Structure 1
């Protein structure tokens, strides 16, 4: 049985779904849909629906809207592109509602975005003959070094969905605050971003996410070391891009934790600067060694003083 609150949410989702259909038909018909509408307005719109009407009604609104839009326009390419934006918006909306840290949200969101964009690319290449992965390959043809070309190729694929997800996450949060629909976890995350300069030192991943990324990198390197081959191009793309994203978050978060420890223990900014220079140097000369050292230092700090829990406690104290 539906209660009054469910009926209200369903009605709001239906109204916003109708608005989405009308807006999509208008923008696509005028040619503006392929500029900023499908990339940004659609996912932000579904962030708002998710925060306002909850997950199940967001899914219902998304499926209904896409079916109607596809039937009216008769354009498979637009439907595929719009479906990617709708799913991305719902992902960001769900992450904003979860009781997780902002960095955890970025890790989960970026990995899910890579999976989403690769799967969309599979269907798009088969149905309409367009592939953004093939387009990225065209960007690196001028590179003569195959190893560098491969790194650039996977970096482009990893950075594109990460950048899109971060933009939608941030803009959706700002826009939802303007509409005054933020509450609980989403409101807390907005306050953290609003006062980012004050809280930036203490914004980090949870233990589960940091060591999950670390374990993934370990398994990824073991597979490469023992020459386990993956024949599927898309699986190679997903596993490699996720590896690059995990490496970024491990370095960023692990470095931040070590820096906080040095600043709190020695109370000298110069020590932190020396550590920064040393870290950059090792990253440039021996990237894998640097990651191993960062993970080891973080493991010691978490075992001895539970530094991530302390950072979270300090952040909560500053906010209150």
Structure 2
């Protein structure tokens, strides 16, 4: 009976999704906004309401209907990207994982999807944004800076989309009264972000996996191992930038918490911030290494990440 109810709800939501998509794409109203943000939120809500199995069925059916009705393969591919991202967010919201871990997983998936969509687009319509951009880069004198901007764009766009979809889905789910279990805890944290942000951190596995990934990519650079494929190079470097952000943010917050707990002086935390900012500007690779080493020491000495997670759980109760 429960499965029949979920199947019916998924079918009704799929019908609503198909109608909204055809109207939005057919009329051009909010085309990019709808495909980039509303579609993944819609699928995330279906996942929270009906579960993974029926959400996948809903996504596949919806893409086929929209593709056949509109006859636009490019739009169907774009929708597929947003659907996968929405389902991923829905799965993560229901998992007993840390919010920072969720953002890491979903952001990396977003980069992979973005590159994959460009591969399909180049095969179908003969145009690749990434390859075209690499040709334009050659026209500018400051190639290193243009490369950095390019990879930062590829890295930050999925991260921004994921964060927006993650938070908006929780808000909409709250209005629809479908947020339960782990998702309800994450809603509480996101709704009171200022209160909990100081203690939010990645798990040890995710933090040190990101640090190890950065280390391996830097070893490749030192050994002058060049990747010829534009797509593979884009994935490797963009994910490295994402890992750098999470390692720096997560590692610094952990060190700051230790300083505040030990000395109980906010001035020390401000001095620490100033030192790290200066070091990141001058020697950012070495600074990242220092952050990782200090976190290893703190995790081995006082298991600080577990303590921060316990503080959040205590506040939630």
- TM-score bin (small chain): over 0.9
Say whether residues 1:297 and 2:294 are aligned partners: yes
Question: Contact 1:199–1:315 (CA<8 Å) still a contact in 2?
Answer: yes
Structure 1 equivalent of residue 164 of structure 2? 167
Structure 1 equivalent of residue 64 of structure 2? 67
Say whether residues 1:314 and 2:311 are aligned partners: yes
Deviation string 1:2-34 (CA, Å, 9 cap, x unpaired) is: xx1111111111111111111111111211152
1:282-293 matched pairs, under 5 angstroms: 282-293=279-290
How far residue 137 of structure 1 moved from its aligned partner, in angstroms, is 5.4
User: TM-score under structure 2 normalisation?
Assistant: 0.96
Query: Residues 218 and 266 from structure 1, CA distance in 2 versus in 1: closer, same or farther, beyond 3 angstroms?
Result: same
Query: Residues 230 and 298 from structure 1, CA distance in 2 versus in 1: closer, same or farther, beyond 3 angstroms?
Result: same
How far residue 73 of structure 1 moved from its aligned partner, in angstroms, is 0.8
Structure 2 equivalent of residue 180 of structure 1? 177
User: What SS does the corresponding residue of 1:255 show, helix, strand or coil?
Assistant: helix
Structure 2 equivalent of residue 56 of structure 1? 53
Give distance in 2, aligned partners of 1:253 and 1:11: 42
Say whether residues 1:6 and 2:6 are aligned partners: no
User: What SS does the corresponding residue of 2:177 show, helix, strand or coil?
Assistant: coil
Query: Residues 218 and 82 from structure 1, CA distance in 2 versus in 1: closer, same or farther, beyond 3 angstroms?
Result: same
Following superposition, which runs of at least 4 residues in structure 1 exceed 3 angstroms of deviation? Answer: 129-132, 134-143
Say whether residues 1:230 and 2:227 are aligned partners: yes
How far residue 280 of structure 1 moved from its aligned partner, in angstroms, is 0.4
Structure 1 equivalent of residue 187 of structure 2? 190
How far residue 106 of structure 1 moved from its aligned partner, in angstroms, is 0.6
Question: Contact 1:140–1:152 (CA<8 Å) still a contact in 2?
Answer: no
Give distance in 2, aligned partners of 1:93 and 1:131: 30
User: RMSD across aligned C-alpha pairs, in angstroms?
Assistant: 1.5
Deviation string 1:166-225 (CA, Å, 9 cap, x unpaired) is: 111111111111111011110000000111111111011110110010111111111111
Structure 2 equivalent of residue 89 of structure 1? 86
Question: Contact 2:24–2:34 (CA<8 Å) still a contact in 1?
Answer: yes
Question: Contact 1:251–1:291 (CA<8 Å) still a contact in 2?
Answer: yes
Say whether residues 1:109 and 2:106 are aligned partners: yes
Query: Residues 312 and 278 from structure 1, CA distance in 2 versus in 1: closer, same or farther, beyond 3 angstroms?
Result: same
Question: Contact 1:140–1:153 (CA<8 Å) still a contact in 2?
Answer: no
Query: How many residue pairs end up in the alignment?
Result: 317
User: TM-score under structure 1 normalisation?
Assistant: 0.95
1:134-145 matched pairs, under 5 angstroms: 143-145=140-142
